[in-house]
Structure 1
Amino acid sequence: MADKIRVGIVGAGGVSQLFHIPLLKKNAQAELVAIADTDYAKAAALAEKEKIPKFFRDAERIFDDPDIDAVHINTPTNSHLALTLAALAAGKHVLVEKPMARKSEEAQRMVQAAKKANRHLMVGMNLRFRPDVMLLHEWVQGGELGAIRVVRASWLKRKETWSRSPWLHESRISGGGVLMDLGLQLLDVCWWVLGKPKIKRVSANLSKDRLNLRVEDTFSSYVTFQGGASLLLNSTWAYMSDDSAALTVFSGNKGIAELNPLKITKEIHGSLVNVTPAGPQLRTTTVYNKSFEYEIEHFYNVVSGKGKLMSTAEESAYILEAVEAAYRSASEGREVLVGADD
Structure 2
Amino acid sequence: MTKKLKVAVIGAGGIFQWAHSAPLKNHEELEVVAIVDIDLAKAQAAAEQHGIPQAFSDYRDVIKMEEIDIIDICTPNLFHSEIAVAALEAGKHVFCEKPDAVNPDEAIKMQQAAATSGKVLMVMRNNRFRPASKFIKEWINGGNLGEAYAGRCGWTRRRGIPGKGGWFTTKELSGGGPLIDLGVHFIDLAIWFMGNPKPISVTGATYTKFADADDIAGSEHSKFGEKSEGEGIFDVEDLAIGFIRFDNGASLQIEFSWASNIEQEENFVELRGTKAGFRFSNGKLGIFGESNGTVTDLVPHVGEDTGGHGENLYHFVDVVQGRVNPIFTIDQGVDMIKILSAIYESARTGSEVKL
Calculate the TM-score normalised by the size of structure 2.
0.89
Letter in 2 for 1:119: K
Q: Please tell me whether the aligned partners of residues 81 and 106 of structure 2 are also in contact (alpha carbons under 8 angstroms).
A: yes
Q: What does the per-residue CA deviation read over 1:90-148, in whole Å, with 9 as the maximum and x for residues that have no partner? A: 11100011111111101111111111111001011222222211221222233211112
2:312 aligned residue: 295
| Paired residue total | 331
Q: Please tell me whether the aligned partners of residues 33 and 53 of structure 2 are also in contact (alpha carbons under 8 angstroms).
A: yes
1:1-342 paired onto structure 2 within 5 Å:
3-159=3-159, 161-164=160-163, 166-212=166-212, 213-241=234-262, 243-260=264-281, 261-281=284-304, 286-288=305-307, 291-338=308-355
Q: Please tell me whether the aligned partners of residues 37 and 57 of structure 1 are also in contact (alpha carbons under 8 angstroms).
A: yes
**Structure 1 CA distance for aligned equivalents of residues 71 and 336 of structure 2:** 23
Q: Please tell me whether the aligned partners of residues 145 and 266 of structure 1 are also in contact (alpha carbons under 8 angstroms).
A: no
**Structure 2 CA distance for aligned equivalents of residues 4 and 274 of structure 1:** 47
Q: Please tell me whether the aligned partners of residues 141 and 194 of structure 1 are also in contact (alpha carbons under 8 angstroms).
A: no
Q: What does the per-residue CA deviation read over 1:174-223, in whole Å, with 9 as the maximum and x for residues that have no partner? A: 11122111123222111111110011221111111233431111011011
Q: Specify every segment of 5 or more residues in structure 1 that has no aligned partner in the other structure, as ranges.
A: none
Question: Runs in 1 of length 4+ with deviation above 4 angstroms?
Answer: none
Aligned-pair distance for 1:243? Answer: 3.7
Judging changes above 3 Å, is the alpha-carbon distance between structure 1 residues 242 and 275 closer, same or farther for their aligned structure 2 residues? closer
**Structure 1 CA distance for aligned equivalents of residues 125 and 103 of structure 2:** 16
Identity of aligned residues (%): 34
Aligned-pair distance for 1:266? Answer: 2.6
Structure 1, 329-338 or 114-123: larger mean CA deviation:
329-338
Aligned-pair distance for 1:155? Answer: 0.7
Provide the aligned C-alpha RMSD in A: 1.7
Letter in 2 for 1:3: K
**Structure 2 CA distance for aligned equivalents of residues 242 and 264 of structure 1:** 24
Q: Specify every segment of 5 or more residues in structure 2 that has no aligned partner in the other structure, as ranges.
A: 213-233
**Structure 1 CA distance for aligned equivalents of residues 117 and 201 of structure 2:** 34
Q: Please tell me whether the aligned partners of residues 63 and 87 of structure 2 are also in contact (alpha carbons under 8 angstroms).
A: yes
Aligned-pair distance for 1:74? Answer: 0.5
Q: Please tell me whether the aligned partners of residues 162 and 238 of structure 1 are also in contact (alpha carbons under 8 angstroms).
A: yes
Letter in 2 for 1:172: E
